[in-house]
């Protein structure tokens, strides 16, 4: 072990040297992966600048105009002897020290640096470490614990027994790709319980070896409120949506968001596919819901039925400075098409503005590949013939060749929107046919579709009576006499 404690000041007091590299892993604990709903088959990583390192007792600034600063208590490994293409069996001998770390992240800046986390995790003070080091030679890498407290309340508590990838595996894997040099720091991931903190909150992280009675002591960081906003003329601005809020807080419930509606059951989907929109509209009207039709949109493929749950996307009116900050990079439009789930319908608020396209063939292909049930927009579609050839059901106001920047700025996703004069919430059920598109509150879907099916049977019987020569007076709608005849017919079936 060649490292010595000579890092000096500048936030590196707890480290033996200023690290050349800080490598962090995206997902490594089973508890966190299960919380996120995705378990990786292999580890993946990102880099943090050494300027993000801070000492215990330091502060971290939540920049002005942001809301989603999240903590992540982690075990940090400090490399001793350089490692290059080492085996898992030998990897731990290249670790000099173990300490506590907090991998802070600002989710407001995550979207435009997807995966790299350059801005969302690279800010000054975003990597507190310390306050003391544990000699790795004394430790069993499979028997370490990490705990995090927020304002004195335990928020995270897990051990390395809960890792998907062991600590030696992470060292060995990274050494396959580049040399791990003396003083490099590996942040080994965070367990479930990471959440959002606000100015005034105090976050503490401790790593220990319970069986040996060894501890780093608590790494303490206090959150402060920044006063300087980001300059829109230089780069992208902070942007959040409900997906980012849910991931930052740990769940939709923790973020104060409504829980997502479950996918349509196959039985309910089949019933909705068998009922005309007109019949559903009639039943909703009977229940006092009149403003549930998306007006002005027509199917790209006549005769195509569309059924699914809403995945919403909102555009705001075009403005050059806002398009500069929100229109490029991994913007809200791209995020929506990348995240749409099987059986969902992307519903776009374009304010009825037809002077620009709101999607084209590439995004239509992405939606189809994701298993989306269709796309509905109260704006235009560019590459209209190419989109039509893809075959995914699309309802729109027609074709337009212009791109977003002419009339629209992609703004946010997974929020309540207005499309075709109708309010649509994420998870609402949509059904479309030649008569148009209707929005059904999920809680009413079973009741409404069953009533519509019953009404369809009744209407079919009435139509048969009209074909037989009966006048419509008293038959449509049915008076008591005709209702009696209908009930007798039903019982005889």
Which CATH fold would you assign to the domain 266-445? Glucose Oxidase; domain 1 (3.50.30)
Which CATH fold would you assign to the domain 22-249? Fumarylacetoacetate hydrolase; domain 2 (3.90.850)
Mean pLDDT of 338-349: 93
CA pseudo-torsion sign 42, 47, 53, 59: negative
Residue 7 is predicted with a pLDDT of 46
Where is pLDDT greater, at 263 or 16? 16
Mean pLDDT of the chain: 90
Least confident of 131-145, 182-196, 231-245: 231-245
pLDDT at 9 > cutoff 80: no
Distance in angstroms (rounded) separating the CA atoms of residues 350 and 411: 11
pLDDT at 214 > cutoff 80: yes
pLDDT at 294 > cutoff 80: yes
Non-local (6+) Cβ contacts of 34 within 8 A are 192
Mean pLDDT of 374-386: 95
Where is pLDDT greater, at 47 or 234? 47
Write down the residue that tokens 């069986």 correspond to.
211
Residue 368 is predicted with a pLDDT of 94
Residue 116 is predicted with a pLDDT of 86
Distance in angstroms (rounded) separating the CA atoms of residues 402 and 354: 10
Tell me: the pLDDT tens digits for 66-80? 999 999 999 999 999
CB 222 within 8 A of CB 59: yes
Least confident of 83-87, 384-388, 433-437, 467-471: 467-471
Where is pLDDT greater, at 62 or 326? 62
Least confident of 64-78, 256-270, 279-293, 325-339: 256-270
The DSSP symbol for 367 reads: H
pLDDT at 5 > cutoff 60: no
Residue 392 is predicted with a pLDDT of 95
Tell me: the pLDDT tens digits for 424-446? 999 999 999 999 999 999 989 99
pLDDT at 23 > cutoff 80: yes
pLDDT more than 90, % of the chain: 70
Residue 493 is predicted with a pLDDT of 75
Mean pLDDT of 371-382: 95
Q: Per the confidence metrics, is the pTM higher than 0.75? A: no
Q: How many Å from the N-terminal Cα to the C-terminal Cα in the chain?
A: 88
Q: Is 38 buried (19+), middle (13-18) or exposed (0-12) by CB count in 10 A?
A: exposed
Task: For residue 36, give the 3-state DSSP assignment.
Answer: helix
CA pseudo-torsion sign 14, 17, 18, 23: negative
pLDDT at 247 > cutoff 90: no
Q: Beta-carbon neighbour count of residue 3 at 10 Å?
A: 18
> Which phi and psi (to 5°) does residue 69 adopt?
-90, 120
CB 252 within 8 A of CB 429: no
Mean pLDDT of 327-352: 91
pLDDT at 14 > cutoff 90: no
DSSP 440-459: E-GGGHHHHHHHHHHHHHHH
Distance in angstroms (rounded) separating the CA atoms of residues 42 and 170: 10
Q: Using 50, 70 and 90 to split pLDDT, how confident is the model at 58? A: very high
Residue 326 is predicted with a pLDDT of 84
Residue from 311, 255, 284, 347 nearest 427 by CA: 311
User: H or E element: which one contains 118?
Assistant: helix 118-121
Residue 333 is predicted with a pLDDT of 92
Residue 8 is predicted with a pLDDT of 46
């Amino acid at each position: 072990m060649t490292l010595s404690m000579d890092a000096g000041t500048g936030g590196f007091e707890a480290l033996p040297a200023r690290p050349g590299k800080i490598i962090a892993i995206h997902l490594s604990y089973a508890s966190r992966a299960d919380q996120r709903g995705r378990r990786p088959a292999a580890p993946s990583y990102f880099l943090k600048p050494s300027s993000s390192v801070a000492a215990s007792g330091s502060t971290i600034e939540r920049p002005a105009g942001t809301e989603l600063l999240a903590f992540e208590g982690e075990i940090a490994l400090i490399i001793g002897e350089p490692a290059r293409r080492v085996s898992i069996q030998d990897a731990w001998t290249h670790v000099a020290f173990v300490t506590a770390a907090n991998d802070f992240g600002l989710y407001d800046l995550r979207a435009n640096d997807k995966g790299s986390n350059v801005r969302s995790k690279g800010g000054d003070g975003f990597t507190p470490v310390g306050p003391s080091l544990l000699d790795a030679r004394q430790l069993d890498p499979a028997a370490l614990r990490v705990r995090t407290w927020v304002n004195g309340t335990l928020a995270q508590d897990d051990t390395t027994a809960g890792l998907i990838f062991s600590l030696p595996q992470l060292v060995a894997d990274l050494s396959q790709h580049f040399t791990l040099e003396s003083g490099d720091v590996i942040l080994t991931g965070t367990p479930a319980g990471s959440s959002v903190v606000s100015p005034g909150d105090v976050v503490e992280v401790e790593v220990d070896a319970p069986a040996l009675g060894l501890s780093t002591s608590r790494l303490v960081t206090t959150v402060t409120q920044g006063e300087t906003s980001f300059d829109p003329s230089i780069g992208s601005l902070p942007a959040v949506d409900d997906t980012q809020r849910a991931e930052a807080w740990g769940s939709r419930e923790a973020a104060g968001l409504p829980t997502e509606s479950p996918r349509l059951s196959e039985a309910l989907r089949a019933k909705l596919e068998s009922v005309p929109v007109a019949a559903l509209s009639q039943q909703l009207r009977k229940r006092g819901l009149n403003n549930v039709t998306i007006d002005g949109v027509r199917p790209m493929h006549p005769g195509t039925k569309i059924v699914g749950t809403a995945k919403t996307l909102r555009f705001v009116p075009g403005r050059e400075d806002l398009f500069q900050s929100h229109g490029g990079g991994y913007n809200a439009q791209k995020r929506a098409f990348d995240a749409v789930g099987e059986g969902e319908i992307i519903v776009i608020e374009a304010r009825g503005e037809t002077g620009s396209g709101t999607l084209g063939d590439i995004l239509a292909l992405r939606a189809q590949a994701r298993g989306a049930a269709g796309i509905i927009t109260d704006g235009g579609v560019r590459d209209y013939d190419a989109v039509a050839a893809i075959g995914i059901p699309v309802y729109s106001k027609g074709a337009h060749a212009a791109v977003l920047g002419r009339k629209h700025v992609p703004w946010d996703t997974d929020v309540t929107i207005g499309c075709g004069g109708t309010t649509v919430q994420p998870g609402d059920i949509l059904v479309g046919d030649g008569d148009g598109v209707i929005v059904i509150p999920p809680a009413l879907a079973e009741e409404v579709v069953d009533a519509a099916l019953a009404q369809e049977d009744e209407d079919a019987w009435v139509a048969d009576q009209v074909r037989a020569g009966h006048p419509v007076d008293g038959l449509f709608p049915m008076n008591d006499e005709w209702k009696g005849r209908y009930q007798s017919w039903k019982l005889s079936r």
